Amino acid sequence: MITSTAWRGKRYAVLGLARSGLATVRALAAAGADVVAWDSNEKARDALSPSLRLRGEGRGEEGVDGASHVPLSPQAEREIVLADPVEIDLSGFAGVAVSPGVPLNTHPIAAKAAAAGVPIIGDIELFAEGRAEMPAHRVVGITGTNGKSTTTALIHHIVEAAGIPARLGGNIGLPILGQDPLPEGGVYVLELSSYQIDLTHSLDCDVAVLLNVTPDHLDRYANFDAYAASKARLFAMQRPGHAAVIGIGDAPSAGIAAQVAATGRGADLTRIAPGACLDQSRWPALQGPHNAQNALAAIAACKALGIPRDAIDRGLESFPGLPHRMERVATKRGVLFVNDSKATNADSAAPALSAYPKVHWILGGKAKTNDLDACRPGFPHVVKAYTIGEAGEMFARLLEGEMPVERSGTLAAAVRSAAAQAQPGETVLLSPACASFDQFKDYEARGQAFRDAVEALG
């Protein structure tokens, strides 16, 4: 795991004990920090130690009521105290490390930490603090509303294919603190959500990439400008001479590029313009205009790392793609079935509609917006729409008059109906333009249900 001697002897609170939170607790404890850990979910608390039996009894460290000492592992130098950081005195703490899923605009920990003068941080900030003690390396950070998972995985794949040690982390793959440090010359490739950027103040990326900024996560920000400003911070943390790659297909991203250039960093900046003409025929996992932009951003980032163009080309050709992102599931009776369950808003669904000439479009779920305007350029490609989930009726009303619409209700019913009506050469596409939480645990469960429904067709 990645640790730092700078944490030794300091006190930290960790709020949220999913994968990144557990990795944070382990890294801090292994470094000799005193850790208070908490999650509102009892099962998540139990994951700290299978041997925990007396949770909530007695008094914890320094008299914290209801706290329990938990020996995290034989390697940990300190005990872990289970206590809600909102309920204890945070005076003297070095930081409160929160999960990116904790809504700081509404959660009381924000005011509690501010009153104590304690910074709120995340695992990415702890990674940044630990970099000085790691073998010489470089970091590529990728953000954007849409496309960042594919672009992050693509850059990582190209770097590894070029023979350079690499780690994938951040909002994708394994928690970065839980991974072993790379040998000298390695590259850490980090997908960074706006939430993760909010929780770091010292991550100086050798290459920072912004793909786009469109409305999303507005329940966490005062307004859209605040959301865009969060993305812009990735570049504000960079030192001069470090590379910036920015897509300028939307006004906020173009504005961020102008801000970077205005700081005198024009020579470090690569702008990725929309509509570039590329031969994508040799890249089976990178189809559609949006993937042309993702590929251009990855090419620019890898060039900034000094990777030769022939090695970049080999990586583009061999990239396998990611599950649930325009994933080719099967071809049955000449009909292609594509799982794009990761498309959880209209902007991220639009590219898949444009990538296939004749589409039977399955959409719906828990809507993030009440329109599908971003998808309109792809409407001429749609043979028929099949609406599902909570947003099904709203989307059906929006699309009627634009295309034939069927109110399918469930994903399984939509797959059966679309498969029965699609002709050879056409595509049945799950690209929901919605979150999944009305009918599924997450977008991955929804994508797996689509795979299962396709397999059940026989």
Give the integer Cα–Cα distance in Å for 91 and 22.
Answer: 23
Whether the pLDDT of residue 55 is over 80: the answer is no
Give the integer Cα–Cα distance in Å for 414 and 419.
Answer: 8
| 310 & 331 share domain | no
Whether the pLDDT of residue 394 is over 70: the answer is yes
- Provide the pLDDT for residue 49: 63
CATH assignment of the domain containing 18:
3.40.50.720
| 169 & 285 share domain | yes
Short-list 327, 298, 371, 349, CA closest to 148? 298
Catalytic residue (one of 112, 137, 148, 290): 148
Which residue carries 């399955």 as its tokens? Answer: 362
Catalytic residue (one of 10, 217, 303, 358): 217
Q: How far is CA 19 from CA 178, 393, 430, 441, in A?
A: 9, 36, 28, 17
- Residue 127 in domain: no
| 346 & 277 share domain | no
Catalytic residue (one of 112, 146, 171, 291): 171
CATH assignment of the domain containing 295:
3.40.1190.10
| 171 & 313 share domain | yes
Length of the chain: 458
The domain in which residue 310 lies consists of 133-318
- Provide the pLDDT for residue 227: 95
| 173 & 103 share domain | no
- Residue 244 in domain: yes
Of 254, 289, 318, the last residue of a domain is: 318
Q: In what helix (H) or strand (E) does residue 159 lie, and over which residues does it extend? A: helix 148-161
- Residue 43 in domain: yes
Of 121, 152, 179, the last residue of a domain is: 121
| 270 & 141 share domain | yes
| 301 & 352 share domain | no
pTM: 0.81
CATH assignment of the domain containing 379:
3.90.190.20
- Residue 128 in domain: no
Of 300, 318, 336, the last residue of a domain is: 318
Instruction: State pLDDT tens for residues 214-237.
Output: 887 788 999 999 999 999 999 999
Whether the pLDDT of residue 69 is over 80: the answer is no
- Residue 294 in domain: yes
| 299 & 375 share domain | no
Average pLDDT in the chain: 91
Instruction: State pLDDT tens for residues 70-84.
Output: 444 444 445 789 999
Tally of domains within the chain: 3
pLDDT class of 46 with cuts at 50, 70, 90? confident
- Provide the pLDDT for residue 65: 38
| 42 & 95 share domain | yes
Torsion of CA 372, 252, 124, 119, to 10 degrees: -110
Q: Would you call 217 a catalytic residue per the annotation? A: yes
| 144 & 253 share domain | yes
- Residue 380 in domain: yes
**Residue 256 DSSP class:** H
- Residue 263 in domain: yes
Which carries the bigger pLDDT value, residue 144 or residue 69?
144
| 303 & 346 share domain | no
- Residue 126 in domain: no
Beta strands in 135-275 (DSSP E): 137-143, 166-170, 186-191, 207-210, 243-247, 269-272
- Provide the pLDDT for residue 64: 38
| 392 & 295 share domain | no
